[in-house]
A and B are shown apart, each in its own frame.
Chain A
Amino acid sequence: MTEKLKLGVFELTDCGGCALNLLFLYEKLFDLLEFYEIEEFHMATSLSGGGHYDVALVTGTVSTRRDLDLLKEARNRSEYLIALGTCATHGSVQGSVELPIKEKLKAVYGDEGNPMHALDPKPVVEYVAVDFALPGCPYNKREAFQALIDIAKGIEPVKKDYPVCIECKLNEYECVLVKKGLPCLGPITLGGCNAACIRSGLGCIGCRGPLPGEVNPASEYEILKSKGYDDEYIVRKFKTFARWEP
């Protein structure tokens, strides 16, 4: 067997889910370890590499100067960098709070200024070039597994390019938007989650970010209006996970 690839996992500011999701691969994690040596992954190991990484996974938003430094270091030291999860690709929920950082800090912490160097939360893709972006809050762990295996085999991982509705239809779920009038962002959201939320009989909340390309948010907006949702509700719903464009 050829030498294993060196893998680094870097967590910026987030809920920890995107790092945790890797551990939720269970036995498949050991399949990954056939190809990769984990050099850095602070949630899971006390070892830290500090060297060169063949593949770096970066999760979370850049929310502090510490995050920014860590991101740049990860970028400089790695061959192939994956922005993993919607925080890293689109900013996700914490990126959607639309106030300048100073006002947010004042509301939360009082008047102490900004001694810890907080920044307005932005996705990784705003700061550095990434080789692959895999959204999802959380991302689909099977998709991440496949991407890592593809890279190890020298194949460029496949980017999804269809809406959640496709997977919803394949599963033969009832359309919750048309039939139940629930707010569902499935038509304008990037698929790949296997329509997880529609499986629960609830609407897609858009956690994988907007579908790139020929998407029609205006039509989605009209449908939601006709179902009785007001402007403010719809706009906030649209912008919850992706205030920043990829």
Chain B
Amino acid sequence: MIIELREFTRVEGNGKAEIVIEDNEVKDVRLKIVEGPRFFELLTLGRHYYDVPDLEARICAICYLSHSVASVLGIERAFGVEVPEEIALLRELGLVGELIESHTLHLYLLVAPDVFGYPDAIRMATKHGELVKEAITIKAFGNRIRELIGGREIHGINVKPGGFGRYPTVEELERVEKESEALLRLAKRAVRLFASLEPYGAQAKHFVATDGYLWGEKIISDEEGAFDYTERIEERSLVYSFAKQSLYKGETFFVGSLARLLLKSEMLTPEAKRLFEEHREKLATGYVSYNNLAQAIELVYALEKANEIAKTLLDRGIEGENVPVEPKEGEGIGYVEAPRGVLIHHYRTDSDGKIAYSNIITPTALNHAMMEVSLLEEARKLYGEVDEQAMIHCLEETVRAFDPCISCSVHLVKL
């Protein structure tokens, strides 16, 4: 017998699952990514590097800036371009804005309705209007930062190899500084809300993140040392899904907020660090559902960080100068922490600066196998214990905890 979960709601993109029951036992779970393939690597092959980040941004709307930055980093590394601190700080500010926008969407508008027992945030607003209003305010702030750095709320083209099209003004940065401080209080309330929930889903055994907090030169795991993804991460195709699955040294692993906190807590901002320490024991159990709590703590981090970066930039002043980019034959990997985990853009370029090889692995693809394992464990616990509808509801919550971004996951290629 097969129990079908209809297409997931309150997640980005189109996916569903099947639970295979044999002899009254849960035998298997298949997570089916039914979103059509999008062939992004094929799209960029042969393209001039200048246009590539704008195209790659379109992989995902929720985290377009992570894709722009990862793409730019991959290209710059292939050409041996290094950017000064100012440009690095502005990119970081953009990623911080994206974290704010994305985490708020996920926590308040997609997950909170489960917590309060509503089908969606709009209906939740009738009783919890304040919370929905808070969400809208924080989210709009995150988007304003994305617009400032990326050029548009969605799919901006302002982030370029070597710098930006347009640099922010002093007034714009002052506004970021002021608003981030004002919103911090709201984010702390979110931490209290998500800390109160019972854990569900599987416990992750391995965690992977970039070696810097929001991007890195390499990736790290809970085991020894920094490494390139090609060394320990393998992908495989499935017949029942448009997304591939990745394994870390042959085992499932987790990327995302929980992984970042557990592997890099020493890089957190003061208040976020304090909150992490307060909840460390809980988070260290590795239950995937604690990714929600981890995101709430990261929301505090992101608001503190936005404030800190704005202050730093205001103190040192903005020069607004791009670094010259000379195309050459090369190879580069951009590692970025998208809001939902490690994002990899790997390119080889030819001497004209055209893309000769491209491989992109998104966080949802990296988490795909872990999601499936989590559903299997959850289904085994619940099958026969609760009625089918209740089980399906819990399984949907488990998928949601990964904050999957299904659209991004469906175009992986090795050429």
Contact = CB atoms under 8 A, between A and B. Distances in A.
B119 A42 contact: no
A18 B61 CA distance: 8
Given A21-B154, A45-B122, A138-B155, A16 B13 contact: yes
Contacts, number: 179
Interface in A119-175: 119, 121, 137-138
Interface stretch (B36-44, B79-87, B214-222, B307-315): B36-44
Contacts of A242: none
B34 A16 contact: no
A16 B409 CA distance: 12
Interface string A72-97: 00000000000000000000111011
A27 B136 contact: yes
B105 A200 contact: no
A11 B11 CA distance: 12
B59 interface: yes
Interface in B91-147: 105, 109, 113, 119-123, 136, 139-140, 143
Interface stretch (B48-56, B226-234, B339-347): B48-56
B277 to A, nearest CB: 34
A200 B151 contact: yes
Given A13-B38, A116-B240, A137-B155, A199 B14 contact: no
A38 interface: yes
Contacts of A26: 136, 139-140
A178 interface: no
B51 A115 contact: no
Interface of A: prevailing SS: mixed
B339 to A, nearest CB: 13
A43 B7 CA distance: 10
Contacts of B139: 26
B37 A201 contact: no
Contact of A137 (B58, B60, B122): B58
Contacts of B8: 42
A137 B153 CA distance: 11
Given A24-B154, A201-B166, A202-B157, A16 B62 contact: yes
Nearest to A121: B36
B12 interface: yes
B10 A44 contact: yes
B415 interface: yes
B9 interface: yes
Nearest to A92: B58
A33 B407 CA distance: 27
A47 B59 CA distance: 27
Contact of B60 (A15, A29, A121, A201): A15
Contacts of A14: 407
A45 B120 contact: yes
Given A200-B166, A205-B51, A205-B157, A20 B61 contact: yes
A112 interface: yes
B165 interface: yes
A23 B108 CA distance: 12
B237 A233 contact: no
Given A16-B60, A46-B120, A105-B37, A97 B43 contact: yes
A33 B13 CA distance: 23
A237 B52 CA distance: 11
Given A14-B407, A46-B10, A92-B58, A237 B38 contact: no
Contacts of B64: 15, 17
Given A12-B36, A15-B407, A202-B158, A24 B122 contact: no
Interface string B239-255: 11110100000000000
Interface of A: 11-18, 20-21, 23-24, 26-27, 29, 33, 38, 41-48, 61, 63-64, 66-67, 92-94, 96-97, 99, 104-105, 107-110, 112, 115-116, 118-119, 121, 137-138, 196-197, 199-202, 205, 207, 233, 236-237, 240
18 contacts: A11-B13, A13-B36, A13-B407, A16-B407, A38-B122, A42-B9, A94-B43, A108-B39, A109-B237, A109-B244, A118-B36, A121-B36, A138-B155, A197-B157, A200-B157, A200-B166, A202-B151, A202-B157
4 closest cross-chain pairs (CB), A and B: A63-B36, A17-B61, A45-B120, A13-B36
